[in-house]
A and B are shown apart, each in its own frame.
Chain A
């Protein structure tokens, strides 16, 4: 699809989303223009707003990359949600029990703990797929639910501070510095160094799938597993690697929420980010710039919901997000001249 067709697809998508937005706002008895202005002012209108959008964008970059990584291998990771949840708990728990060690050690350990937990959580569905041909879409959805229960269970069993639903505070050395320390305009916003780490990973992605043998083979397996198997590529191993890497990336999404923002984990922190990551990956279409754009778009919508909640229920933005997801997929198919 050429650039102008893509631009037209995008414009039509934004238009459809605005129609849905205006319809619901009008239904609620508010003026669409007024609310739209609130959305803008709460997001890109102020330094704080921009910082918050970037904060919301950070985990989306990672879950989007996670979903893309699985998609490269031809697998659908609908489980980034659960992988992020267990990853967040692990990062917070490990971060909290780290003693007085230097940041250079504490931060990587906490991040890796989150990534490892995410990878482990992703291992279950992919091994089920490899062994028992259980469809990964269903099993990851179930794993999301089980993750919710597990997280609640572990919090209840002692990971939470007494009488609360949150973990102890993460050691200060394991926290990620806020960007507002460098960029004054972001003052008060939660965007942290995690954004830079996420961007680095997003832009390293294509290199991995091109230059690294495993990555390149993962990509080929996704395009034609049968031929790869016939040509001697260890297909099952590549699928497992791709999916666990996907889980690790999703789990690493916790670095912005747990280590960069709250400093602890509580039930529900980061909820929804895994699902939106699917949309980010689909819109990203293997291009880091598009992926970044998609994450910014959904990050903006999310933050925009908070900005309007005093006038219109913020759930409105979920409907708008859903409309964008469907509309983008729809118009891009049309743009490529695909016939159903």
Chain B
């Protein structure tokens, strides 16, 4: 159906995709996997015409994709659901679907088509509400249904389950299997091994832009070979060091915190030396909780009290909230802390440089203090953010709130960041880690809280199963 040969694409100074070929067949679920930054998204964006390759060709049913554009690929039946959804937030599902349709709009007809597509998939989503008011899972369903209204025969999904609960993920794969049965080709990007094990008919593994494994596999077969291919030989992850049990001292006490409409009476405590995980589907109040704790937003009701100086926060979106991308690392690691290296309002540049250097050294001695933040990989960017908060802790803060500290970060950097978070706890700080990745929380935390619709829905030991935790995460939205 689709066959790409010798694709190569350079992004900045990195060869994102290097001489990769891929064949996509109908009636198959094709999984593309690899570490963060391995080139999965770039490869499939090229296949779907969203990005142009520097070299290589994409053929759809034998004919080359010319011009190499998304609308042309779509016209010929290849649709992609990207990680950051390509929906216009202020427009409804129906309006979003009409974007590439007839010149004079026919909303009624489009609504019928969209409903038809949703029925075929077993979806039920409001079609006439601005999509910005819908949850991530619902937006994803709209994207998939939209692809079907365009008669897509190849459907490419980029990390579709990253933002879903385990139950929602299962429902998604049910729908995808249904589509496969209708003679469509499905391509899924994921790095979750259980999904590969259960659903993949064909697997392609990328590592550092190169294809290291490709081929059909029996469903349900072992994934050891794939794991090895993803990691590469001799690429061991540093083993996590042990954590002591938390003390009795409470360093963060949150009491019935309420912020309409996102938080409803959230109460919990974090002890000195404790790492508490906060699990949940994105958009269930985690972001608002972080912002209230960071002092950026005032709560409607309830209170929180933290020991020590102000709470140190790793914000969830490092590119906008964490870093000033066009500034140097030195400026970033001292962002908002210039007072510490100034006298009478004048910055002492010598102290500025030595202080920045010593802060960066806590996480990564190889970082160049004069480099611009924008030039770093995601992992190194996040290290800079972590370095700043660690300095806050050294400066007297006793609570660390880390929102999605390793999202989009390569495995090596994630290990470093986890270890620094453990260091903070060992030093007597209380840590709250917000994450959508249960595996991460299991490896890091003493206990895991689950948040759903702005309320705490349960507290679990790290050993609790996906099903147990997932069930609390889901808690169907009532009348929204």
Q: Do chains A and B touch in the complex (CB under 8 A)?
A: yes
Given A213-B342, A216-B347, A224-B320, decide whether A230 and B331 contact each other with a Cβ distance below 8 A. Answer: no
Chain B interfacial residues counted at CB < 8 A = 26
Residue pairs across A and B with Cβ atoms less than 8 A apart, 20 shown, are A210-B349, A211-B347, A211-B349, A212-B346, A212-B347, A213-B339, A213-B342, A213-B346, A216-B331, A216-B347, A220-B335, A223-B324, A223-B325, A224-B325, A226-B321, A228-B324, A228-B336, A230-B296, A230-B321, A232-B336
Structural contact, A220 and B331, CB atoms closer than 8 A: yes
Q: Chain A nearest CB: distance from B404 CB in Å?
A: 14
Point out the residues of chain A lying under 8 angstroms from B322, CB to CB: 227, 230
Q: Chain B nearest CB: distance from A335 CB in Å?
A: 19
Given A220-B324, A230-B321, 15 extra CB contacts under 8 A: A210-B347, A211-B347, A211-B349, A213-B345, A217-B338, A219-B327, A223-B326, A224-B325, A227-B321, A227-B323, A227-B324, A228-B336, A230-B322, A231-B336, A232-B337
Q: Chain A nearest CB: distance from B374 CB in Å?
A: 10
CB contact list, A173-215 vs B, under 8 A:
210-214
Point out the residues of chain A lying under 8 angstroms from B231, CB to CB: none
A162 at the interface (CB under 8 A from B): no
Point out the residues of chain A lying under 8 angstroms from B388, CB to CB: 231
Complex: chain A residue closest to B344, CB-CB? A213
Point out the residues of chain A lying under 8 angstroms from B349, CB to CB: 210-211
Point out the residues of chain A lying under 8 angstroms from B326, CB to CB: 223-224
Point out the residues of chain A lying under 8 angstroms from B346, CB to CB: 211-213
A229 at the interface (CB under 8 A from B): yes
Point out the residues of chain B lying under 8 angstroms from A10, CB to CB: none
Point out the residues of chain B lying under 8 angstroms from A230, CB to CB: 294, 296, 313, 315, 321-322
Interface residues of A, dominant DSSP:
helix
Bound complex: CA A223 to CA B320 (Å): 10
CB contact list, B322-367 vs A, under 8 A:
322-327, 331-332, 335-339, 342, 345-347, 349
Top 4 A-B pairs ranked by shortest CB distance? A231-B336, A224-B324, A232-B336, A231-B335
A233 at the interface (CB under 8 A from B): yes
Structural contact, A233 and B335, CB atoms closer than 8 A: yes
Bound complex: CA A228 to CA B315 (Å): 12
Bound complex: CA A229 to CA B294 (Å): 10
Bound complex: CA A216 to CA B334 (Å): 12
Point out the residues of chain B lying under 8 angstroms from A214, CB to CB: 345
Structural contact, B345 and A212, CB atoms closer than 8 A: yes
Q: How many A-B Cβ pairs are below 8 Å?
A: 62
Point out the residues of chain B lying under 8 angstroms from A227, CB to CB: 320-324, 332, 335
CB contact list, A243-264 vs B, under 8 A:
none
Complex: chain B residue closest to A217, CB-CB? B338
Point out the residues of chain B lying under 8 angstroms from A224, CB to CB: 320, 323-327
Bound complex: CA A223 to CA B331 (Å): 11
Q: Chain A nearest CB: distance from B315 CB in Å?
A: 5
Point out the residues of chain A lying under 8 angstroms from B296, CB to CB: 229-230
Complex: chain B residue closest to A224, CB-CB? B324
Complex: chain B residue closest to A221, CB-CB? B324
Q: 1/0 per position for B293-305, CB-CB distance to A under 8 A?
A: 0101000000000
Q: Chain A nearest CB: distance from B340 CB in Å?
A: 10
Point out the residues of chain B lying under 8 angstroms from A232, CB to CB: 310, 336-337
Point out the residues of chain B lying under 8 angstroms from A216, CB to CB: 331, 338, 347
Bound complex: CA A214 to CA B344 (Å): 11
Point out the residues of chain B lying under 8 angstroms from A220, CB to CB: 324, 327, 331, 335
Structural contact, A213 and B320, CB atoms closer than 8 A: no
Q: Which of B294, B296, B321 has the most CB of A within 10 A?
A: B321
Bound complex: CA A212 to CA B321 (Å): 24
Point out the residues of chain B lying under 8 angstroms from A211, CB to CB: 346-347, 349
Q: Chain A nearest CB: distance from B388 CB in Å?
A: 7
Point out the residues of chain B lying under 8 angstroms from A226, CB to CB: 320-321
Bound complex: CA A227 to CA B374 (Å): 13
Bound complex: CA A220 to CA B335 (Å): 8
Structural contact, B347 and A213, CB atoms closer than 8 A: yes
Point out the residues of chain A lying under 8 angstroms from B327, CB to CB: 219-220, 223-224
Bound complex: CA A213 to CA B336 (Å): 10
Structural contact, B347 and A228, CB atoms closer than 8 A: no
Given A220-B331, A224-B320, decide whether A233 and B336 contact each other with a Cβ distance below 8 A. Answer: yes
Bound complex: CA A230 to CA B335 (Å): 9
Q: Chain A nearest CB: distance from B349 CB in Å?
A: 7
